[in-house]
Amino acid sequence: MSSGRVSRHARIRMIAAMATVCALSAAPLTPQAVAADAPPYSETYRPQFHFTPEKNWMNDPNGLVYYEGEYHLFYQYNPNGNSWGDMSWGHAVSEDLVHWEELPLALSHDDNEMVFSGSAVVDRDNTTGFGTKENPAMVAVYTSLAKDTGIQSQALAYSTDRGRTWTKYQGNPVLDIGSREFRDPKVQWYAPTQSWLMTVSLSTEHKVRFYSSKNLKDWSLESEFGPAGATGGVWECPDLFPLAVDGDKKKIKWVLVVNINPGGIAGGSAAQYFVGDFDGKKFTADDKGTYTPPTGTVVQDFEGAGAGAGTDFGTWTTTGTAFGTAPATGTLPGQQTVSGFLGNGLANSFHSGDGSTGTLTSPEFTVDSPYLNFKVGGGRHPHQSGDVLEQGPPPEGTVLADFEGGGYGDWTTTGDAFGTAPASGTLPNQQQVSGFLGNGLVNSYLNGDATTGTLTSPEFTLDRKHINFLVGGGNHPAGSDNPTAIELVVDGTVVRSATGKDAEALDWASWDVGDLAGKRARIRIVDGNTGGWGHLNVDHIMLSDTKARLSQETSVNLIVDGQVVRSATGADSETLDWASFDLRPYAGKKARIQLVDMNKAGWGHILADQFTEADTAAKSVVQRADWADYGKDYYAAVSWEDAPDGKRYMVGWMSNWDYSGAVPTSPWRGAQSVPREMGLRTVDGRIRLTSKPVGGIEALRQKPPATAAGVTVENTTKPLIGPAAEGKALDIEATFSLKDADRFGLKVRTGAGGEETVIGYDTTTQELYVDRTDSGADDFNSTFPGVQTAPLKAKNGKVTLRILVDWSSVEVFGGDGEAVITDQIFPDPASQGVEVFAENGTAKLDKATVWHLDSAHN
C-alpha cells in the first residue's frame, strides 16, 4: 500500500503512519470548513469528474479489475474518519471509468489486521475452489498488516456476487516472509505458463519480487528486480503489464511501475516506471547506458593542493563544528559508508555525528556561467524561507508558560502522561532531550510512550500576531486517531496545531493568529498515542508580534544579495548525486555558496563535492529516471486487469504524503486521478510511457465549446476568450507555435487576489510546467506551493496541450501524452478565469478549444 507509511527506522511504529504529513498546520479555517453542511458532492473543493468517496479518508487505488461490464475500483479507506487509519477497502463501480457508484465497504479492518493495498482478479478457471467455472469468484489479494507484530503478509478474500460481499480466506496469510516492509501485491494471470503472477514490493530494500502460483494460495519465488532508478524513498504499489510499442502488436515491451515515497521527481510521492522485457520469471529493464555529466570549470573539489583532501577549507569559512576544520576523506566515525564523491575529499558535516551543526561558506564570486553543478548527499531537510540559522533569545513578547516552576500552576491535566509537574529534561529510557530553555519543560514520556493525557492552559486573550513555542517529540497530527500535538482551541474548536518531528530535540514553531485578534483561547497539549514516538515535548509558549522559527535544514544554498535563491538537499542517503543550480537569472551578480547543517536529528548532516561551472545542467538519478507523471499529486498508480479490447487503463491517488493529511477538504479527504489510457511510444529514440485521459471524459463536454484561433501574444497576459471560457470544470485543448518568447501558455482558475494556476512551456529548458505558487489555499504545508516541470520537446515547432481543470485539480497532458503533470489546487470558487500569456517575447496560439464539463455526479 503506499500503505502503511511504515518507517524505515524500527523505532517508529506503523501507527505513526501520518508522520509524512505536515508537522505544523498553521492554516486558518478555510471556506471548506464552513461548507461541510453543503449537499454531498457540492462542497467547495469537491471534484466533479474525479472519484471521491462521499465522506472519510481515501488513498491508494486497489483491486482494479473489469468484470461483467463493470470496472471495479477498490481503494484504501478509513470508514471511521477523515484522516489515515483503520485501513480497509472501499469500493466503487463504473461502466465508463467516469461515472462511479460508491458501494458498501468491501474488506474491513478488524481487531487483528488492517487491510492494506493489493489487487483483484477473476478466477475464471476456479483454481482456488472459491467459486465455480460457471460463477467464478472475484479474488482480492491484499497485504494484511498484523496489528500485534507489524508483520506485512499477503492474504486472500473472495466474492461470488460480483464483488458485493466478501469472505476472508481462512487459510490466510498465503505468503508471509516475516517482514514489516513486504506489501502491495499486484496479481495477474500469465497465460504462457498457465499460472498466476504476483508482483510485490520489498519496500525499504527498493526491490520488487515476482512469485508464481497455480491456485493463488501456494506461491513460489521466481526472481527479484532492483534496486534501480530512483531509490530515495520506499518502493510501493508495483505493477507489471505489456504494451505494444508505437502500436505494433508484434513489438511488445513490458512496463514495471514502481511508486516511490519520498524521493519523487517533484518531491514526495511519485510514480516511477521501467521499460524492459519479461520472460515469465524475470523482468530485465532496458539498458539506458551510463551517465556522463557536463564538462565545465571546477571551482571547488575539496582536494587541496596535494594528492589527498586539503588540510583546510582554504578561502571557504566555517561556523560551528559540523564540518570540522578540513574536508573529509570519506566516511567519518559512526557514519554509514559514504560513496559517490569524486577524488579523495568532500565536505561532510557528520563530524561528532548528527548532533553537531554549522555552516561552510564560499568566498563571494561573480556569476558568469549558466549553471552550477555539484554533488550532494546526506539529509533531506530543505531550506525554508524565514528560518533563522542560530537559536538566539526568543523574540520579545508575553510568556504564557515557561514550565520553570515546581508544578503546572493553573494549567489542568488529564490522564497520566504529564505527571504533576514539568520535567527537568530527559526522562528514564528516553533519548537525549535538547533545545528547551531554562530547567523545565513539558515532557509526556513519563513512564514511556504507553501513557496518555492532556495538559490545558487557562483561557487567555489573543492580543499579538503570533504564538511562538518550542516543540519536539512525536509526529502524530491533531485530527489523527492517536495524536501527539499542541493545539490552539478557540470557541471549543482546534484552529491551529503542531507536532514534533519524531525527534527529541525541541525547535521553534509559530502560529500566525492575526486573524483571531481579540478572541479568547486555550493551549491544549495532547498525548493520545501509545506507540512509537507516542509523546510530546513543549516549552516556552509565548505571545509575540515576531515569528520565531529555527532552521532545521541540511542544504546547499546559493546566496545572492543576502537571500537564498537556490537550494538543494540530500535524499537521506550517504551516496552523493548530481544536482544543479540555474544561474542565468543572476548573471553578473555577486553570489556565495553556503552549506548549512542546522539539524540535530536523524540524517542531520549534509555532504557536498565537485562544484563546477558549466553551460548545461547536470541531472540527478531522480531526473534521469522515468516518471508516469511529473506532478506532485499522482501516486500509488496501478492499472486495471481484463479491460476490454486489451486496453490498459491506469489511475493514481491524486495526493502526496507530504501533505495528504492536511489538505483543506471535508467531509472527505482524497481523490483519484482521471483514469488514463496507457501506451508506449518512441520519443527521441527511446521508448516512453504515454497516457491520455480516458475517452469517457469527452462525454461530459457541453456543446458548443468556446474557441479561439490565431492569437498572437507578446509580453502580456490577457483573457483567452472571455466569460465563455471561464469555469471551475473545464477540458481545454490548445496548440501553440513557438516564436521568440521564453515562456508561454495558459493560466486557469484566475481571479480574486491574484489567484492563478500557470500552465506553461519554457522554450529555454524545453519543459512543460505547472506553477501553483498562487493557486489558492496553500499554507497548510510548506512543500505545497511551487513549480513542477516535465521534459517536453516541441514537435514541428508546435506545443500541444490537453488540460483538465476540476474544482481542486489540474491535469496537464503535453505532446502526445509523454509529459504529464497532475497537481491539486484549492482556489477561491470565484476564481474561474482563463488567460493566455507570453513572457519575454512572442508566442502564437494557433487554436484553443474550451469545453465546460458536466458533473459526473449527476
Q: What is the 3-state secondary structure (H, E, C) of 12-38?
A: CCHHHHHHHCCCEECCCCCHHHHCCCC
The C-alpha atoms of residue 785 and residue 182 are separated, in whole angstroms, by 33
Pairing of strands 520-527, 460-461: antiparallel
Among residues 398, 422, 425, the alpha carbon closest in space to that of 408 is found at 422
Report yes or no: 802 and 5 within 8 Å, Cβ to Cβ.
no
Catalytic residue among 60, 402, 527, 609: 60
Among residues 207, 215, 139, 214, the alpha carbon closest in space to that of 179 is found at 207
Q: CA of 50: how far to CAs of 74, 233, 587, 652, 856, in Å?
A: 14, 27, 44, 11, 8
The C-alpha atoms of residue 581 and residue 368 are separated, in whole angstroms, by 13
Report yes or no: 652 and 637 within 8 Å, Cβ to Cβ.
yes
The C-alpha atoms of residue 183 and residue 205 are separated, in whole angstroms, by 12
Label residue 285 exposed, middle or buried (CB < 10 Å: 0-12, 13-18, 19+).
middle
Q: CA of 127: how far to CAs of 138, 139, 161, 196, 435, in Å?
A: 12, 11, 17, 10, 61
User: Please, how many CA atoms are within 13 Å of residue 804, restricted to the half-sphere of its CB?
Assistant: 27
Q: String of b and e for 256-272 (b: at least 16 CB within 10 Å)? A: bbbbbbbbbbbbbbbbb
Q: Which three cell numbers stand for residue 488?
A: 490552539
Q: Write down how long the chain is.
A: 858
Report yes or no: 668 and 56 within 8 Å, Cβ to Cβ.
yes
Cα four-point dihedral sign 84, 203, 232, 266: negative
The C-alpha atoms of residue 191 and residue 212 are separated, in whole angstroms, by 12
The C-alpha atoms of residue 436 and residue 442 are separated, in whole angstroms, by 10
CA geometry: angle 480, 482, 486, nearest 5 deg: 80
Give the three-class secondary structure for 358.
strand
The C-alpha atoms of residue 656 and residue 646 are separated, in whole angstroms, by 30
CA geometry: angle 80, 86, 89, nearest 5 deg: 90
Q: Which three cell numbers stand for residue 129?
A: 475452489
Active site residue 96: no
The residues, any chain, with a CB within 8 Å of residue 846's CB and separated by 6 or more, are: 709, 710, 735, 736, 737, 798
Report yes or no: 541 and 401 within 8 Å, Cβ to Cβ.
yes
The C-alpha atoms of residue 415 and residue 57 are separated, in whole angstroms, by 29
Q: Which three cell numbers stand for residue 603?
A: 540524517
Report yes or no: 652 and 822 within 8 Å, Cβ to Cβ.
yes
Q: How many CB atoms lie within 10 A of CB 38?
A: 13
The C-alpha atoms of residue 733 and residue 666 are separated, in whole angstroms, by 31
Among residues 9, 7, 10, 22, the alpha carbon closest in space to that of 478 is found at 22
The C-alpha atoms of residue 229 and residue 231 are separated, in whole angstroms, by 6
User: Please, how many CA atoms are within 13 Å of residue 512, restricted to the half-sphere of its CB?
Assistant: 9
Beta strands in 37-148 (DSSP E): 56-67, 70-77, 88-94, 100-107, 113-123, 137-146
Query: Could you list the active site residues?
Result: 60
